[in-house]
Amino acid sequence: MDYNGKNAAYNYIISAKQGGCKMQEITRSVVQGLLPRRDADTNKGSFGSVLAVAGSMAYRGAASLCVEGALRGGAGLVYLAAIEPVLQLVLTRTPECCPCGCRTDNGGGIRAQDTAALREWFADKNTVLLAGPGLGEGAGAICGGLLGKRAPWVAAVLDADALNALAAGTLRGPLPEHTILTPHPGEAARLLHTTVGEVQADREQAVRQLAEEYHCVAVLKGNGTLIAAPGEPVWRNTTGNAGLARGGSGDILAGLMAGILAAGWRQGRSALEAAMMAVWLHGAAADHCAERRSMTAMLPQDLFEDLGAVLTGLEG
């Protein structure tokens, strides 16, 4: 079958749901059909915005990687709420980022009280929230201030320390309707109050349980990353390799996911579709990178060059 084009890709997803299949594979053709269009008469406002809330004194690089991921995922504008030392690093690498300076708390992270101003400033901007990478121990209070009732975000991607806060109960309250959680097996075990061994023994059941319990799109990372949403088939990724098994890979994926979600929001792309696209593209870039540098020598930051090569092939 030929699944090129948005309608064909969408029909494929619908038919998978109606067919009651236990598992579907994310393929190149499906991703190609879902990519947001970049028409000649569009502008930066056509592709949405992302607010990344990331980084701390101890984890400055996480903010840099997720911000660049969001930019290269296609978002029209990417903002970063962070403390000044983090902003300095990120702006050196990606001057396209719009800084939102925050005060530093005693632990070297963002002062949680600053989240009220962020919520107010983004109240009418139709922004996707990306929270968690490198936030440190204060993530619960920070994310709690950003989320909850009347939160302004059209969607959210929660990663890393935000997931740990959610699992520990320091992040409470309802999540935005269109939320993506991106746990690795250890984080998934904490979210489900079980063990890594039990998660890995039945990954499909674990990702389904995450989606149902947290009413979100769940992305269970690992070999053959799985994606689930309530009432939907589970999707298995077909790209990626062990070169991704190093710190920073997940920060790029979270940023890429938020950028794709923002870019496709006005074109009707869902959080599930954004997650599928991001996971496949991230893995495809890693496969391309491994051919250039080897799985041993490749670094997460190398993926950005390969992501461009993969997207060129899809868009051409």
Which residues contribute to the annotated binding site for (6S)-NADPHX?
62, 134, 184, 251
Residue type, 301: Q
Phi, psi dihedrals of residue 181, rounded to the nearest 5°: -105, 140
Tokens at 241, concatenated: 């390799």
Distance CA 230, CA 117 (A): 33
Here the tokens at position 310 are: 């993969």
Separation between Cα atoms, residue 93 and residue 81, nearest integer Å: 16
Contact 250, 184 (CB under 8 A): yes
In the chain, the DSSP E strands lie at 23-26, 49-53, 77-83, 98-102, 127-131, 155-158, 179-181, 217-220, 226-228, 234-237
How many CB atoms neighbour CB 296 within 10 A? 9
* Binding positions: 62, 134, 184, 221-225, 250-251
Round to whole Å and give the CA distance between 53 and 70: 12
Contacts of 288 (CB under 8 A, 6+ apart): 306, 309, 310
The DSSP bridge partners found for residue 99 are 80
Q: How far apart are CA 121 and CA 128, in angstroms?
A: 14
Could you list the residues known to form a binding site for AMP, using ranges: 221-225, 250
**Nearest by Cα to 282 from 263, 296, 302:** 302
Q: Are strands 98-102 and 77-83 parallel, antiparallel or unpaired?
A: parallel
Strands 49-53 and 127-131: parallel
